[in-house]
Structure 1
């Protein structure tokens, strides 16, 4: 390994040379209390910035093991350090001058959720730290400005590193609070099944967001307060007693007038599969972590999916036990989304009437009288919802504002009134007696066929270099194929979509052999990430990109929307 002095001398030699001479800086350099590694050097000042990583031995970083004793605490600590480094880097970014990205210093931009990322990794055994960042190597035109890079590597970066990665320079109480919150959140998550609950919303939570483009909490937002009938109290390891609304497993209907907070509550529950940072307002909104948001998704790709429980006897005779289409309708897409959620191991479905296909959700009594059941290929979700819970243990939380049909099948009914919930189950059930359901629900046909065994696409066997690009949270592009993830609503970060792209690439090269089921493929990917972190997906990559870990449910969702999936 070379020394910091070697790097300084090298920069002096290449100053004012052509930009390609920066390639000579690639390598690892020992600084007094950390190693700086230049992992990938950009091709020109207008290209994506160079990738740099900082490595600090556990004995030097000296973070107490109590801060990362459990996986959730470790991830929370990594998240807190990433956020702190981002603030430090923002203060010095672009202070070194030049063309294009010259002088940029950046790291992952974290949102309100706490996610495992490649940006910062802590070894739970020894406490070693690795922080990855991007640096725009300065140039004027295509001429190296080595003195400006020297400022970055020897002045600006050391300031950021020492203010972030060494315990002695940080507020120990703040870090302990981060670890304690993570442990309390995990305590609630673990307690849900033991208490027969699928979600918990603490009193005092602020669910409304600042705006449609901001995930931060609304100032002066209405504080959540549980109805007495659903109130539960937990004794957390650090915070102590906390009271809130516990939503039992089964079928829960959320109703109320427009703009009273129905969808706001459901959106908080959707993202309750993740832990949230202090001050978010949803720190103690915890949802069963396999929960999946289900919606209609016109135009999506469906590959050999058994949707026959909901759609069968099509007039064209098309087989719905292995249904495929490149342009799904609202009803077929929502049926596929339910089946794929079952395949992904979801035990809770989250549905909003506003984003659902009406003919998939319900058929009213008048329509059933005019169009007999024998003439309708769609079995609406209302006819299967109780069997899903009774036979498969899959609960549903459904938001409805216009149809009262689900009053008959719901186990509990919550009315949102000016952002406050009220339990109206008894009254709603009494009113429903005046509108008896027409006919009987069809018998359940059991589990759909989930035995799908994808094969690798031929082009991936040639060892070609494939271009991958995350398209924000909307999807990921692999070569010329775009996987549309716009309606996978529990994806919360563009780095998750990038990670999904790497999951597809890795699976194409190593796992899709036509023998493993899609479940087994996702199991292998999950195991790889668990053992080798997200970096394990990036084989042969020059510099590990910024990635955030998606849930296994989103990995399934990505494969199921991949038009290149060979089934």
Structure 2
């Protein structure tokens, strides 16, 4: 006969350990209690009042409109934002260290799946919060802990699930509109859409909120499209498949437009100004990354001659140059499934972007076939490009669409640009990269997020996560670190297969993705983002698939 496991209530445990040393709080692990229809369970216990806070999970079936249940990500995002505000108000200092702290990570201006609030189609809501168990002189304060766990947390959750139906409807409809536009882009021959009236500039370089008094976006008539949705028709500028060059003088909105497109892979919240800026999910921003690690990437389509006769069909280095790092980034993105590559001349290796034929008499040997030369071929093989350039004629010659930004207003100058560039005819065939398999991933020892850096005891140097410019929340960085800790589970799979599995597991929830009960600190990433990280870990071992 198997003995039943006894699950103690939180209040019973607290009464038993009151006044004991802080480590007695460990007896709370797994303890649960039901308060006002909320099942509260402690899933992680901190070892010290100054250590990262404990984790509390709350399960509830809230009364939500049926139409809201059909859109669980948008509804959970709305509840999460209410939870964040409630916890900030109810958090209080109740002793030393993190004692009395309550919180979840601050949400950004986009709607994401987050481990702090998850909702399924059966109306089951899971809430996870950080809670600093209170102590004084490292002694358990049972009364304060009971107030924190059984009064303040339930109150915060009740406030979070007490929704304003009109505000929730607006939140969900904003999500629906962006999803419907995104689903229609392929049929319209588009890779991105910027709605008329959108506010693209931000208040400051590191700010999320829109710039007051900014010029609303207005599509050039020649590029305006109308997208029909169940919420009404929307007009704006369609970015067509192929090659688009955004040109113009400095400080007139070129990079602002590109940034709006790069963040358009996410759905934005009401009031952000970019709620009608939508990009296909398979868009990747690339840049030059001097000094990065590269593992057996086929960059031969771009770079075909290196000093010492080194091969570029399986290019490997621990210290890539600007050009080789950017060539690798493009090929890695395409290998992972990217259908749109975004490039800003300011952060690029210009010798990879274009080549001035007028310099040919001075250069005896041409070792790089540029993006401008291969752009048309890339587009014909399903990889579109949007490139910001001050006005490079080789890039303009390769473009299907040329947009000039003046005072944050776009102007379609494609016919005039093609007339100016009519004598530039250089065009080369693009070769997609050979597919690679992850052979061995390092077992990172105690990986942690420190600022924007991934650190681990067996990494020689911290690994920056800022090279991926499309990440918008710290929770995404935390999730990448958590996935990096279990990369060995993906050994034997191709890069594209890994990306697909990450996307599939994410749809099923964070517990499935991480194979264990998560804390509240994670936000969704795309499979392509995980591949971006794998490709930059120095000790990763890969090999190219034969026949690919």
- Normalized against structure 1, the TM-score is what? 0.90
The residue aligned with 1:304 is: 296
- Residues 489-508 of structure 1: matches in 2 within 5 Å? 489-508=469-488
Report how many residues are paired.
535
| Residues 512, 521 of structure 1: 8 Å contact kept | no
The residue aligned with 1:446 is: 431
Query: Quick one: distance in 2 between partners of 1:67 and 1:104?
Result: 31
Pick the aligned partner of 1:140 from 136, 143, 147. Answer: 136
Query: Quick one: distance in 2 between partners of 1:255 and 1:140?
Result: 61
Pick the aligned partner of 1:365 from 357, 371, 396. Answer: 357
Post-superposition shift, 1:349?
Answer: 0.9
The answer to whether 1:566 aligns with 2:544 is no
- Alpha-carbon deviations, 1:112-153, whole Å to 9, x = none? 1111111111121x2111100000011112111222112212
- Residues 4-153 of structure 1: matches in 2 within 5 Å? 6-26=9-29, 27-56=31-60, 58=61, 61-69=62-70, 73-94=71-92, 96-124=93-121, 126-153=122-149
Partner secondary structure for residue 217 of structure 1: coil
The residue aligned with 2:188 is: 195
| Residues 331, 432 of structure 2: 8 Å contact kept | no
| Residues 438, 490 of structure 2: 8 Å contact kept | no
The residue aligned with 1:393 is: 382
Query: Quick one: distance in 2 between partners of 1:387 and 1:145?
Result: 68
Query: Quick one: distance in 1 between partners of 2:192 and 2:410?
Result: 14
Query: Quick one: distance in 2 between partners of 1:3 and 1:158?
Result: 20
Query: Quick one: distance in 1 between partners of 2:320 and 2:335?
Result: 19
Partner secondary structure for residue 454 of structure 1: strand
| Residues 478, 522 of structure 2: 8 Å contact kept | yes
The answer to whether 1:407 aligns with 2:396 is yes
| Residues 350, 398 of structure 1: 8 Å contact kept | yes
| Residues 506, 537 of structure 1: 8 Å contact kept | no
Partner secondary structure for residue 186 of structure 2: helix
The answer to whether 1:292 aligns with 2:296 is no
Query: Quick one: distance in 2 between partners of 1:562 and 1:189?
Result: 32
Closer, same or farther: CA 98–349 of 1 in aligned 2, 3 Å = same
Query: Quick one: distance in 2 between partners of 1:163 and 1:106?
Result: 14
Query: Quick one: distance in 2 between partners of 1:243 and 1:138?
Result: 54
Q: Bigger CA drift: 215-224 or 260-269?
A: 215-224
Pick the aligned partner of 1:471 from 450, 475, 483. Answer: 450
Query: Quick one: distance in 1 between partners of 2:376 and 2:72?
Result: 39
Query: Quick one: distance in 1 between partners of 2:37 and 2:100?
Result: 24
Question: For structure 2, which runs of at least 5 residues remain unmatched after alignment?
Answer: 543-548
Post-superposition shift, 1:540?
Answer: 5.4
| Residues 2, 28 of structure 1: 8 Å contact kept | no
* Alignment root-mean-square deviation, CA: 1.9
Question: For structure 1, which runs of at least 5 residues remain unmatched after alignment?
Answer: none
The answer to whether 1:526 aligns with 2:503 is yes
Post-superposition shift, 1:404?
Answer: 2.6
Post-superposition shift, 1:257?
Answer: 1.1
